[in-house]
Structure formats: structure tokens, C-alpha cells
Amino acid sequence: MSEADAVDVEFEPDGLVPAVAQDAETGEVLMLAYVNREALARTRETGEAHYYSRSREELWHKGATSGHTQTVKEVRVDCDADALLYVVEQAGGACHTGHHSCFHRTLEGETVGKRVFDPAEVYED
């Protein structure tokens, strides 16, 4: 694909677009986060996932604190160009709770995912 064929991402008025991270090997959905233009540019430049934290209102390099980075193999855009899919190689757990995936519970509250690290050992209070 030439640069002229590149897709223009349709960022929301707040400057964000949702991004789903998917495990490149298994296809498992790991997490959902938001990306602004800077986060997408940093992801493309470095090959590691960057997001925008809505709660902290700042750019966020996935794994900067925990070491559980995401190496981005491919960035896909949906048909409306208003959502992204990061196909990643996940180092450690994707979820700050210590689970491999953020989607580790059912709606009924049953834990279905496995914990791969102890967040108390990784994050300071």
C-alpha cells in the first residue's frame, strides 16, 4: 500500500479513538483503551503500544511501569475508520489487576482468566 492509500483515522471530537489489543498468537482480546494522534504516532514509530489515559489525561506507554509491554505487529482500522485493532505480542499480563487479559470476568462475576503476576509487587500504592 502506498502512502497515498493510507487510511485517515476518524478521531472523535475529544481527539480519541478506541483501540482493542489482540494477542497475535492466540487471537485473544487483551484490552480496550483509547488512542490520540500522538499515541498512534508513537506506536508506529516505536513498535510498542502507546495509549491515552482518559483518567490521568496523559500519554501512556503500555508496560512502562510493569515491564509488560506490547510489541505491535500490525495496526488495523475498522470499516468506518473510527476504531483500531492493535495485534500485539504481549509480555506478561495486559491487565493492571495481574491477569493476562482485562476481560477475565463474566458478567456474573466469575473469574475465567488467569492471573499472571501480583500487582502489589509491580505497582506502588
Q: What is the CATH number of domain 16-120?
A: 3.10.20.810
Digit-coded pLDDT (tens) for 65-99: 899 999 999 999 999 999 999 999 999 999 999 99
**Predicted local distance difference test score (pLDDT) of residue 12:** 97
CA dist 48 to 20, 75, 100, 107, 109, Å?
14, 11, 17, 31, 32
What distance lies between CA 118 and its chain's CA centroid?
20
Per DSSP, 125 falls in state -
Contact criterion met (CB below 8 Å) for 46 and 62: no
Digit-coded pLDDT (tens) for 13-46: 999 999 999 999 999 999 999 999 999 999 999 9
**Predicted local distance difference test score (pLDDT) of residue 57:** 95
**Predicted local distance difference test score (pLDDT) of residue 16:** 98
Q: Tell me how far apart the alpha carbons of residues 104 and 123 are, in angstroms, rounded to a whole number.
A: 20
